[in-house]
Structure 1
Amino acid sequence: MSKRSRLAVFFAALGALVVIAVVVTVAVRSQSAQAGEHPASYAVAADSDACGAGWGGQDAPTNASVPGGEQTFTVTNHTVAGIEVYLQAVDSKKVFLDLEGLGAGAHATARVTIGAGRYRFVCLPADADPVHGPTVSVGPAPPSAQLTPGVVPVTRNDLIPVAKTYTTWVASRIPVLQRQVAELGADTAEGDLAAARRDWLSAHLTYETLGAAYDAFGNTGDAIDGLPAPGTTALTDPGLTGFHRIEALLWSGAPATQATDAVSALSASVATLASTIADAEIDPGAIGLRAHEIVENALQFELTGDADAASGTELATVDANLSGASAALAPLTSILSSRYDGLTATTASIAATQKLIESFRAADGSWRPLSSLSRAERERVDGAVDGTLELLAPVAAICDIRREA
């Protein structure tokens, strides 16, 4: 079983943190709608010839005017193929609504709340240039309105340098991992259990910082850090290899030499990784999502104890995962600094959460097992990690690749 968790980020459920009003068939009711107010509703065409027709009136001309505030759009694709539709601010190029994969003849209904400015719909057929709809002037929104945030689209070209920078960093860590695994092999061969356990943890934590590259590792990644199959343990799963098999052996009470073959297999997998990393393709569009997913994995696997194979080093792994999230976030800074107001809070949250996690590490470098934490301590840790996860969610939304319009 791979440690790579689901890639689902449910943008519509992220409340005020959502940066784009995303693809939904039925939009969530807003505060004004709940209060009994009726937002403006428009049937809008998505068409190569008449993109955006219907906003501001059935045959709204260029420079139509509508009141600001909440708008309900039912967008219908009148083409014979799939199409993507943006609601875009003309001057800032920010996108406030992104309807992806709208099939031929299909429609989607969504609500956004927008303030004063000039806006237009943009229709993006799969194999054709964007089509700009008429400009609509929007008046000021009511003072109590919570405006939908917008974002300038991030393109694949924007993210290619990010992927290259991150890949270079990952490649620089592989020799460190190889050296640590070699030290682990020497200690298990000598039967030095205490040293083998220390070296296992060092190597495992190095690998756990590389989370945004896991998909590029393919089957090799599963061989290095896979989890036991359902219904088995790290000791009983006959197909399990890698760090968790070695962990189970080193903390089973058996001599360290019992792990020699498993360490040799791990060494071979890491050597394969080293020989292929230069050709590994880290999806440019996945970096932002992985920054979120790394912490999601920590919450799902480590802070539940599901990934522990008796070493009790879950908190050390969470610490490494947070370092991995920082490493994935770092090359995105130039993109996010002008697009995400919460970037500073996000990096601060990662640092504060790491400080909390590291408070459970003793002066000799040993870590308290997750099971030894009090209920209050567990709640503090879970709350801090969950808070960081929420702040990282908009990064995934912002860095979702979109076409320039």
Structure 2
Amino acid sequence: MSKRSQYALFWVVVAVIVAIGVVATVTRAPAHAGNAGAVAAQSAQAHSYDLTANRSTCGVGWGASVPGGEQDFSIANGNDAPMDIQLQERDSKKVFLELDGVGAGSKVGAQVVLAKGRYRFACYPEDEPPAIGATVHVGAAPPNAVLSAGVQPLTRNQLNLVAIAYGKWVDGRLPTLQQQVGRLDDDAEEGDLAAAKADWLTAHLTYETLGAAYDAFGDHDAEINGTPASGQTALGDPDLTGFHKIEALLWSGAPASAVAAQTQGLVQAVASLVADPGTSQIDPLLIGLRSHEIVENAIQFELTGATDAGSHTNLATIDANLTGATAALSFLKSDLASRYSALPDVEAALASTQKLVESYRADDGTWLPLQSLTQPQRQQLNASLGGLVELLAPIAEIAEPRFTADE
């Protein structure tokens, strides 16, 4: 089973959290202890509206001109099919409220705190043209209002370009991977297992930099970088192939013939990956999740030592994962620059975390085993990776593809 397969259920849960987070983040700023009085005051000044939405109209019932501050909406979908509903700033197209998949005939509630400006609702029924609501003039918000932050939409077309560029980067890395597993196989065939260990690490780290492409790799990933079935070890699982089976054999003292049998299979698996045209077709719907997911993956599987099959190189793998996360983020940088004010903090955290991880690599290229870290070192590493994950999390929301519609 691949790490990606084991991680699938976790990411179903994360997807739900992200979906909830989109509504919470876009519709209302969080209440911090320092502004509790302001939040209470603006709640007391909330303006409530019952709105309807259907194929031809969206947001009817809000009014032509309303006071600013907190808006408390109850929105009924009068359509006979589900629809997505957005509240947009008319001029900038920033999204301040987002409700996905509102069911036919259902009613949902949402709150948003708006500054002075021109806003409109936009409804997106399934497989039908969007319905754009009338422009509503919103007055100035109370001075103590905690305003909602809008999100500048990224379209599917914009993210397609990002996915294509990233896919080309992956394609450019695969020939290197193919050469590296070829050297691994050659040394295993010759019985030079010391060289094969070094070859194994080099090739495995190259593969671990490609984390944002694993979904596109499909079954190839399980063949190349799978982990043992539940209750099995990498050495004992008869169905396991790829890097972790080879790792277990190399570091358990297995004969060269056993290692070579597996390296030959790895060469074939990587060749199949390179020959598959689908490997560079990265899903643009998921590209915004990837940098966050790669680091979460590193925390779950590498920082715990769960994937260690004897080489004790989890810290090296984390380093490769951080390289992969940086690469995935780099293709979104131009789109995020005007949308995520904390992007410089993300880049600084990536660099500092990777510097910390690489401090555990010796001058000769060997890595400290994860188990040898002191408690303070482990705490520092945990905190650095945890803080990085928090900074990366909003990117998934910001880079979620959103509909846009012009009148």
Query: TM-score over 0.5 for the alignment?
Result: yes
Q: Specify the alignment match of 1:148 in structure 2.
A: 148
Question: Which of 58, 78, 81 does residue 51 from structure 1 map onto?
Answer: 58
Residues 90 and 398 of structure 1: is their aligned pair in 2 closer, same or farther, counting only changes over 3 Å? same
Q: Deviations over 1:69-106 (max 9, x none)?
A: x3222221111111110011111110011111111011
Q: Specify the alignment match of 1:87 in structure 2.
A: 87
Q: Give the CA deviation at 1:175.
A: 0.8
Residues 171 and 12 of structure 1: is their aligned pair in 2 closer, same or farther, counting only changes over 3 Å? closer
Q: In structure 2, give the amino acid aligned to 1:316.
A: A
Q: Specify the alignment match of 2:195 in structure 1.
A: 195
- In structure 2, how many angstroms separate the alpha carbons of the residues matched to 1:257 and 1:366? 26
Name whichever of 249-258 and 159-168 sits farther off. Answer: 249-258
Q: Specify the alignment match of 1:328 in structure 2.
A: 328
- Which 5+ residue runs of structure 2 have no aligned equivalent? none
- In structure 2, how many angstroms separate the alpha carbons of the residues matched to 1:323 and 1:295? 10
Question: Alignment RMSD, CA only?
Answer: 2.3
Q: Specify the alignment match of 1:362 in structure 2.
A: 362
Contact 2:224/2:266 (<8 A) preserved: yes
Contact 1:19/1:398 (<8 A) preserved: no
Q: Give the CA deviation at 1:11.
A: 2.9
Q: How does 1:94-133 map to 2 (within 5 A)?
A: 94-133=94-133
- In structure 2, how many angstroms separate the alpha carbons of the residues matched to 1:380 and 1:114? 40
Q: Specify the alignment match of 1:308 in structure 2.
A: 308
SS of the residue corresponding to residue 26 of structure 2 reads coil
Write 1 or 2 for the structure with the bigger share of helix. Answer: 2
Q: Give the CA deviation at 1:372.
A: 0.8
Contact 2:38/2:145 (<8 A) preserved: no
- In structure 1, how many angstroms separate the alpha carbons of the residues matched to 2:296 and 2:168? 24
Q: In structure 2, give the amino acid aligned to 1:96.
A: F
Contact 1:184/1:199 (<8 A) preserved: yes
Q: In structure 1, give the amino acid aligned to 2:228.
A: P
- The yes-or-no answer on 1:40 pairing with 2:47 is yes
Q: Give the CA deviation at 1:399.
A: 1.4
Q: Specify the alignment match of 1:239 in structure 2.
A: 239
Q: In structure 2, give the amino acid aligned to 1:300.
A: Q
Contact 1:121/1:134 (<8 A) preserved: yes
- In structure 1, how many angstroms separate the alpha carbons of the residues matched to 2:287 and 2:307? 24
Q: In structure 1, give the amino acid aligned to 2:61.
A: G
Residues 232 and 34 of structure 1: is their aligned pair in 2 closer, same or farther, counting only changes over 3 Å? farther
Residues 12 and 166 of structure 1: is their aligned pair in 2 closer, same or farther, counting only changes over 3 Å? closer
SS of the residue corresponding to residue 284 of structure 1 reads coil
Q: In structure 1, give the amino acid aligned to 2:139.
A: G
SS of the residue corresponding to residue 240 of structure 1 reads coil
Q: Give the CA deviation at 1:363.
A: 0.7
Q: Specify the alignment match of 1:375 in structure 2.
A: 375
Q: Deviations over 1:26-84 (max 9, x none)?
A: x99895697474333322212223311222xxxx2x3x12232x322222111111111
Q: Deviations over 1:156-190 (max 9, x none)?
A: 11111111111111011111001110111122122
Contact 1:120/1:136 (<8 A) preserved: yes
Q: Deviations over 1:203-244 (max 9, x none)?
A: 001000101111111111111011111111111111111111
Q: In structure 1, give the amino acid aligned to 2:203.
A: A
Q: Specify the alignment match of 1:181 in structure 2.
A: 181
- In structure 2, how many angstroms separate the alpha carbons of the residues matched to 1:383 and 1:146? 30
- In structure 1, how many angstroms separate the alpha carbons of the residues matched to 2:398 and 2:221? 27
Contact 1:211/1:324 (<8 A) preserved: yes
Q: Give the CA deviation at 1:15.
A: 9.9
- Which 5+ residue runs of structure 1 have no aligned equivalent? none
Q: In structure 2, give the amino acid aligned to 1:20.
A: V
Q: Specify the alignment match of 2:26 in structure 1.
A: 20
